[in-house]
Structures are given as structure tokens and as C-alpha cells.
Structure 1
């Protein structure tokens, strides 16, 4: 199973469409502090052609392929585009900021 990190979407809305396979989306509350275990508050399995929406007012989320043998493909659209996000350690709530890379920005190849 391929798992994404628990992450935010700073100042951006995220629309996600499942193009192939099944994807589990788990929602988390913001950590209560450093050293506090994060708790999954809800999860759903998204099937092909289903759409999900996420922003920081909803909380944090993690996306993962539910299959160990079948490929899952999802399309993520960020409005406005984002160039960084924060990832969170589920056991400690520790936050790390990461830089995001793109093949293009505003239609121009980077």
C-alpha cells in the first residue's frame, strides 16, 4: 500500500478526482501540540470518477492506494497553486515544511 503523508494545503483549495483504482482519504484534526499523537477522525474510500475537496478549514488529510497490487491514479488541482506544504508525523504531531515541485506553473514548463 502506497501512503501519502498527513499534510495541509496552505492558503489553497484542493480538488482531487480518482482516475483509476480506489483511494482511501483519511481526515485528521490539527495536532494539539508537539508530542501528541494525531487521531484519524474520518476516512472514506473514493472510487474511480469520484471527487473530493480539501482545505485547511476542514483539517489535514492523508491519501493512500488501498491496493498492494493494482495501480491507483488521482488528479489534484490546487487553487491557487501551492509551492509548499506541511507534513505531520502521526505519532508525535511533529510538523515539517516541504517544498513542492511541478513540471509546469501557469502552463509554462519549469
Structure 2
């Protein structure tokens, strides 16, 4: 059983440390648990997550179970699904009282992410519509380069600017196709990944849970292994375009 201890008397920093410690041994589960709750709707999923993260012991296997148990119902999540013509979007569904983030990512035809890490957090990715291709890489040892105002959805990890950097090519671990209702799990101890919509005629939608939540990660150039610190932002929150919500 994989647990992360969360003591309500601890500081937020200590709570995060417990969750991050669990990434050293948790590898994900492939099937729902026999004793886990039944998740029939998106609201059930959100309620179950809040209940799990409100306990003194956050059972990461149970979090995985909750994500696995939910079956995609487009009528429940389509109001959060906001697309952009030029890049994939990250759309906040629930902020999880600061202990987790639940979001929907929308992938236009051929859209993909940069190769990136997950800031020592747990990452669960569930397919709601279409397919995604996940390519995993070994974690390199390169140091991060500060590049402010660069968004993860806009970083080109395949450019040919590596001449300035020491070469440390990223090694591919494997590639997997994630289909509707599948759940993929990754953390930094398992490596890096790049996710892309392989279809040029259909869109894709995925549900992501990150715990602890983070607002910065690193992206990597696949040929040089260079690491760039990158802010992580939301295209929309709770179904409202972020730019519009500020007006």
C-alpha cells in the first residue's frame, strides 16, 4: 500500500514533502481496487478526491483508483473543454484546496506538448476523448536554464539551438497509445514524457490530476537534453477563459 502522510497540524510545506516522498516508490496501478468507492459521475470523482485528500493519510493508490473508475461522459466535462487553434490548452476543473489540481487538457489535431517533468509531483492522465501518444524518456542531469515568460504549450522542444549547450541526448524509454478511459501515471522518478495527439483529423481530451499542484516545471530539448524552467498556466478556469475572467 502506497501512502503519503498528511498531518493537518503540519505546515503546507510539510504536507507537500510527504506527497513528494511517495513518488520514490509509487508506480501506478492498472486496475481499480476491489474495495474502492464507485465513481459514476465527474462530481462523484471530485467529491471522492476531496474526501481522500482531507484525511491524515493520502492513499495514492486510492487516488489512482478514483481516476481509473470514472468513465467518460462528454456531457459532464464538455463545458471545461476549451480549445486553441495553435496549441493544446490546460483548463482548471478543481483546485483541490491547494492539495491537488484537476484539469482538462484539450488537444487539437496534431497538437503535442514539449518533453517535460512534473516538479516532483504525481501525474495521473485519463483519456476522455480520442487517443494520445505518450513517449517516455530517461531523466537527464542537465541544469535548468531560466527563461521567463515561456509557456509549456509554446515551447518547441525540437529546435536546433543546442549548439550552445553540452550534448546530452535524451534516451527514449518507450511509447504508449492511451485510449478512452485509460489512465497513465508518471512522476520524475519514472522519467520525463512528451504527449501528443497523433490524429490530424480528430481532437483529443484528457483529464489530469497533479498532486501536489505546481506552477512551474522544466521542459527539455530532445537532442541536447537542455532543461528550461517554464511556468505552467491555465487557458481557462472553471469553464471561463482566463483572459475573460480578469475583465
Same-fold call, TM cutoff 0.5: yes
Higher strand share: 1
Q: Deviations over 1:26-82 (max 9, x none)?
A: 110012554122121101001011001110010001111010110011111101111
| TM-aligned CA deviation for residue 101 of structure 1 | 1.6
Q: Matches of residues 54-69 of structure 1 in structure 2 within 5 Å?
A: 54-69=186-201
Structure (1 or 2) with the larger CA radius of gyration: 2
Q: What's the RMSD between the two structures over aligned residues?
A: 1.9
Q: In 2, Cα distance between the equivalents of 1:75 and 1:85?
A: 19
- Tell me, yes or no, if structure 1 residue 20 matches structure 2 residue 132: no
- TM score, norm. by length of structure 1: 0.88
Between structures 1 and 2, the one with greater helix share: 2
CA distance in 2, matches of 1:101, 1:36: 28
Contact 2:132–2:195 (Cα < 8 Å) also in 1: yes
Which one scores higher on RCO, CA 8 angstroms, separation ≥ 6?
Answer: 1
C-alpha distance in structure 2 between counterparts of 1:101 and 1:66, whole Å = 24
Aligned length: 107
Q: Which runs of 5+ in 1 are unaligned?
A: none
Indicate yes or no: 2:203 matched with 1:71. Answer: yes
**TM-aligned CA deviation for residue 11 of structure 1:** 2.2
The reply to whether residue 86 of structure 1 matches residue 218 of structure 2 is yes
> CA–CA distance in 2 between the matches of 1:74 and 1:50?
10
TM normalised by structure 2 equals 0.41
